[in-house]
Amino acid sequence: MSLLIDDNDTNWYKSIIQAVNDGILVIDFYGVVQIINKEYTNITGVTESEIVGELLRDVRPGAELPEVLLDGKIRSGVFRKEGKNNYIVDMAPIYNGNKIIGAVSVCKSLKEVHHLTQELNRSKKRLKQLEEMVESFHRTTYSFEDIVGQNKGLLNAIHTAKKAAGTDFNILILGESGTGKELFAQAIHHISSRNSHPFVPVNCAAIPSTLLESELFGYEEGAFTSSKKGGKSGLFDLADNGTLFLDEIGDMPLEMQAKVLRVMQDGVIRKVGSLHERKVNVRVIAATNKDLEKMISKERFRADLYYRLNTFQIKIPSLKSRKDDIPLLVDYFLQNANLHSLSPDESFIDLLMSYDWPGNIRELKNTIHYAMNMTESSRLKAGDLPDTINRNGQRSGEKTLERIIEETERDAILDVLNKTGTDLKGKKLAAKKLNISLATLYNKISRLDIPF
């Protein structure tokens, strides 16, 4: 009988078997262990001197491998436990011609399987999150049909927006808070030729200025201490072939304005920590409620970026200047809430018409929702409106002294910070110039909502 162990090439086989990363045990025709490798010892704890040359059945009474010698059947995925170690085993006969001359078992530690399963689950979860994110970018919720109003100023804005949507120019949307800037941006993307690609909104005021660059452009692995393995794609990347909506662009720090302008001019981005540039094809729609021209004169906004964005300018009128649309909007919000049975009486509309709506359509929408919940009949009356509207109905937009002082303070601090810079050194210098302590400066920055 020619046994595997007697073969002249034994050393070759032994070396190969030792190099395999799974545990291997070979028995001969008699059930005597001929070979084990190091990984087998790692997994089971059984050493070569304990087992080689012994009958497997004697050393490991539960072993199933000797049965393979008898029935010649392959077994796979058999679960085994050895102390704390769990592992799975595949078993197979070894043939010479059609005669069984031995059997081999191959074991895989479940530690590694467990680790791989965990890794796979983590990757699956991340993939799902990314899929959802990309899908939500595509899903622009609003289109032009959702923009309600007949006012001439509004119709003008819609006309310009539709014209702009047919081109590939950048767009600047101006309007007070709550006038519908995001609604317009989405509607434009929706009918543009880019509509099968992502619409990616970024709120420049909500992202801390220190993170804005890596959010917009992404970063390479190792770009900074907390950077993720494999790096990260930026929002410009995600918006490739689609639309990037830079909301609240008036709050973007000056250094970032310069970098965004570069992308818009050259069409290339570079990740933080990378030497390579990559081409992107993105249409930028920017929006703000700030007076950018005033900011330019105070050197708080770059004139060159303004001109680049301003190819199409869409000015959305404030609700105060288009009160004629209030009844239409009230109907629209009632219908949208599926409350067709509710209707406003004259006192209700009159009171809404006499209010100045500093929060514009968003405030009107919230107010209607409030009244719908407060009313006890099917007619909405002035009494169903919140106190702010009732009390301030005659308000003419005059500013309180407190507001005037706050705004002046904010402007003065921003002026100085723009000259000194906004890093720690700049802030220390600004505090000195303003003759206040650094702590007071930080307090004011946070209280006055200064974006540095």
**CA-closest candidate to residue 268, choices 256, 285, 253, 282:** 282
Selected range binding ligand ATP among 54-62, 172-180, 345-353, 387-395, rule: CB under 6 A: 172-180
| Partners of residue 78 on adjacent β-strands | 89
> Whole-number minimum distance, CB 182 to Mg ion, in Å?
4
Residue 362 · residue 394 · CB < 8 Å? no
For the chain, how big is the Rg over CA atoms in Å? 36
d(CA 107, CA 76): 10
Nearer to ligand ATP, 3 or 372 (CB): 372
Q: Is 175 in the site for ligand ATP (CB under 6 A)?
A: yes
- The 3-class secondary structure across 337-356, one letter per residue, is CCCCCCEECHHHHHHHHCCC
Contact of residue 175 among ligand ATP, Mg ion, none (CB under 5-8 Å per partner type)? ligand ATP
Selected range binding ligand ATP among 24-32, 61-69, 81-89, 173-181, rule: CB under 6 A: 173-181
Three-class DSSP category at 403: helix
> Whole-number minimum distance, CB 248 to Mg ion, in Å?
7
Query: Which of 25, 26, 106, 147: binder of ligand ATP (CB under 6 A)?
Result: 147
Site string for ligand ATP, 358-377 (x = CB under 6 A): ---xx--x------------
Nearer to ligand ATP, 35 or 183 (CB): 183
Nearer to ligand ATP, 181 or 194 (CB): 181
Which strand (E) or helix (H) includes residue 43?
A: helix 38-44
d(CA 206, CA 209): 9
Nearer to Mg ion, 245 or 348 (CB): 245
Phi, psi of 229 (to 5 degrees): -60, 135
Site string for ligand ATP, 94-133 (x = CB under 6 A): ----------------------------------------
Q: Are strands 218-219 and 232-233 parallel, antiparallel or unpaired?
A: antiparallel
Query: Which of 104, 183, 285, 352: binder of ligand ATP (CB under 6 A)?
Result: 183
Which strand (E) or helix (H) includes residue 263?
A: helix 254-266
Site string for Mg ion, 171-190 (x = CB under 5 A): -----------x--------
Q: Is 179 in the site for ligand ATP (CB under 6 A)?
A: yes
Task: Name every residue whose Cβ is closer than 8 Å to that of residue 283 and which is 6 or more positions away in sequence.
Answer: 168, 169, 170, 171, 192, 194, 242, 243, 244
- Alpha helices (runs of H) in 343-437, residue ranges in sequence order: 346-353, 360-374, 387-391, 401-420, 424-434
Contact of residue 149 among Mg ion, ligand ATP, none (CB under 5-8 Å per partner type)? ligand ATP
Q: Is 148 in the site for ligand ATP (CB under 6 A)?
A: yes
Contact of residue 183 among Mg ion, ligand ATP, none (CB under 5-8 Å per partner type)? ligand ATP
Three-class DSSP category at 9: coil
Contact of residue 179 among Mg ion, ligand ATP, none (CB under 5-8 Å per partner type)? ligand ATP
- Count of residues in contact with ligand ATP, rule CB under 6 A: 16
d(CA 440, CA 428): 11
Q: Is 429 in the site for ligand ATP (CB under 6 A)?
A: no
> Whole-number minimum distance, CB 154 to Mg ion, in Å?
17
Cα first-last separation, the chain: 85
Nearer to Mg ion, 182 or 356 (CB): 182
Q: 415-433 burial string, b = 16+ CB within 10 Å, else e? A: bbbbebebeeebbebbbee
C-beta nearest to Mg ion: residue: 182
> Whole-number minimum distance, CB 284 to Mg ion, in Å?
15
Phi, psi of 252 (to 5 degrees): -80, 130
Contact of residue 308 among ligand ATP, Mg ion, none (CB under 5-8 Å per partner type)? none
CA-to-CA separations, 265 to 284, 304, 305, 334, in angstroms, rounded: 12, 11, 10, 45
> Whole-number minimum distance, CB 183 to ligand ATP, in Å?
4
Query: Which of 177, 310, 313, 347: binder of ligand ATP (CB under 6 A)?
Result: 177
Site for ligand ATP in 307-366 (CB under 6 A): 361-362, 365
Nearer to ligand ATP, 289 or 420 (CB): 289
> Whole-number minimum distance, CB 227 to ligand ATP, in Å?
31
Residue 154 · residue 319 · CB < 8 Å? no
Nearer to ligand ATP, 46 or 183 (CB): 183
Query: Which of 289, 318, 418, 422: binder of ligand ATP (CB under 6 A)?
Result: 289
Query: Which of 23, 149, 242, 317: binder of ligand ATP (CB under 6 A)?
Result: 149
d(CA 63, CA 45): 15
Task: Name every residue whose Cβ is closer than 8 Å to that of residue 362 and which is 6 or more positions away in sequence.
Answer: 177, 178
List contacts with ligand ATP (CB under 6 A).
Answer: 146-149, 175, 177-183, 289, 361-362, 365
